[in-house]
Each structure stands twice: as C-alpha cells, then as structure tokens.
Amino acid sequence: MGARQPERVETERLVLRRPRADDAEAIFERYASDPEVTRYLSFPRHVSLASTRAFLALSDAEWSRWPAGPYLIESRDGGDLLGSTGLSFETEQRAATGYLLSRDAWGRGYATEALRTMVELARDAGVLRLYALCHTAHAASARVLDKAGFAREGTLRRYFVFPNLSPGEPLDVLCYARVLG
C-alpha cells in the first residue's frame, strides 16, 4: 500500500483537511444541497442531513481503507468552508479526483489550487494514474483540469449518469488524466 497522506494540508490560500462528523451541517448548507453546485456532480443533491451523514461515513471508510480519501476545502484566512475535493482510490496505483466549491467561492482559482494539491498527494501515495471525468459542456471544470496539467484523453460515450441532470440516462463525458510515474 502507498504512503499514508496527511489529514491536513495547507496551500497558499487554502486548508485541505479530512472531514469530521461535526461538519455535516456546514457541508449541507454551504454546497451539498445547492442545485447549481451539484448540477454536474456524481452524487444526488442532498435533500436532508441524512445524505450528508452518509457521505461522512463513506469518507471514514475510504480513509480507513486507503492512503487518503475526501478532503474539505477551507479558507486559510478565516476558516470558512469553501468546498470539497479528494482522492478516490480504485487500486493502489489508480485514483479518481474531483472538486466542488460553494457558489461564493467560484472564480478565484481555488479549484485549481486544490486540484494541484491532489496531484501532489496522489504522487506521494504512489498513484500512477490520476483521472477525472467531466460533462462535455462543463467548460469551467475542463479549464481547471487543463490548468492543473491533465491531458484530455477522449470522450467516453454514453458512459456516466449524472444524477442531478439526467437520472437514468448515461451521457457522454470527457476523460482527463495525469500520469504520475
């Protein structure tokens, strides 16, 4: 198994840290229940705190099993909850990543800063392939992946069900990846 990664990391403007049980209300209110934030995400928008608590249980399970898992994104200046990112291990050497920010945190480069940190943690954990999927119309997310050095590998046709956009119908997605070793 690759090296265990820190549960708290500081970047220039952000703190990335492992979620805790008492984060549920803030996660729910800041982004997980927001239809605009969750539009292109892989999880159904949270309609009650039960969904948020289920995410926190899943996060603990990931952290127990793998070298890392989900991280919350906070402002270094003031500690406000801004969003979430993380590493989702599929094997010891392959992981997926993603990122989301509450609406008031968009457009300041935070997603790119968080994603670059996920690349470093993944490399330190021994990941060889770090990838992300993105809706074909989601230009802002595609730009974040470009800026963080991910290569667009192609379109996976009729591949992914976006639960908040096309429940029950797989849509085309862009596949981006960085090879780290």
Ligand X SMILES: CC(C)(COP(=O)(O)OP(=O)(O)OC[C@H]1O[C@@H](n2cnc3c(N)ncnc32)[C@H](O)[C@@H]1OP(=O)(O)O)[C@@H](O)C(=O)NCCC(=O)NCCS
Taking CB under 6 A as the binding criterion, the range among 3-11, 16-24, 33-41, 62-70 that sits at the site for ligand X is 33-41
What is the nearest approach in angstroms of ligand X to the Cβ of residue 3? 27
Tally of CA atoms within 13 A in the half-sphere of 130 that contains its CB: 25
Q: Taking CB under 6 A as the rule, does residue 111 contact ligand X? A: yes
User: Six-digit token pair at 150?
Assistant: 């991910």
Tell which one of 4, 65, 143, 152 touches ligand X (CB under 6 A). Answer: 143
- The answer to whether 44 touches 163, Cβ cutoff 8 Å, is yes
Which among 65, 130, 52, 126 is positioned nearest to 98, based on CA atoms?
130
Nearer to ligand X, 66 or 150 (CB): 150
**How many chain residues interact with ligand X (CB under 6 A)?**
21
Tell which one of 20, 21, 57, 109 touches ligand X (CB under 6 A). Answer: 109
Taking CB under 6 A as the binding criterion, the range among 54-62, 86-94, 109-117, 121-129 that sits at the site for ligand X is 109-117
User: Six-digit token pair at 135?
Assistant: 């809706």
- E strand segments, 66-140: 70-75, 81-91, 94-101, 129-135
- E strand segments, the chain: 8-10, 14-17, 70-75, 81-91, 94-101, 129-135, 151-160, 171-179
Cα separations in angstroms, 79 against 14, 15, 76, 107, 125: 9, 8, 6, 19, 27
What is the nearest approach in angstroms of ligand X to the Cβ of residue 83? 6
Tell which one of 28, 55, 99, 176 touches ligand X (CB under 6 A). Answer: 99
Q: Taking CB under 6 A as the rule, does residue 108 contact ligand X? A: yes
Nearer to ligand X, 35 or 168 (CB): 35
For ligand X, the binding residues (CB under 6 A) are: 37, 40-41, 98-101, 106-112, 134, 138-141, 143-144
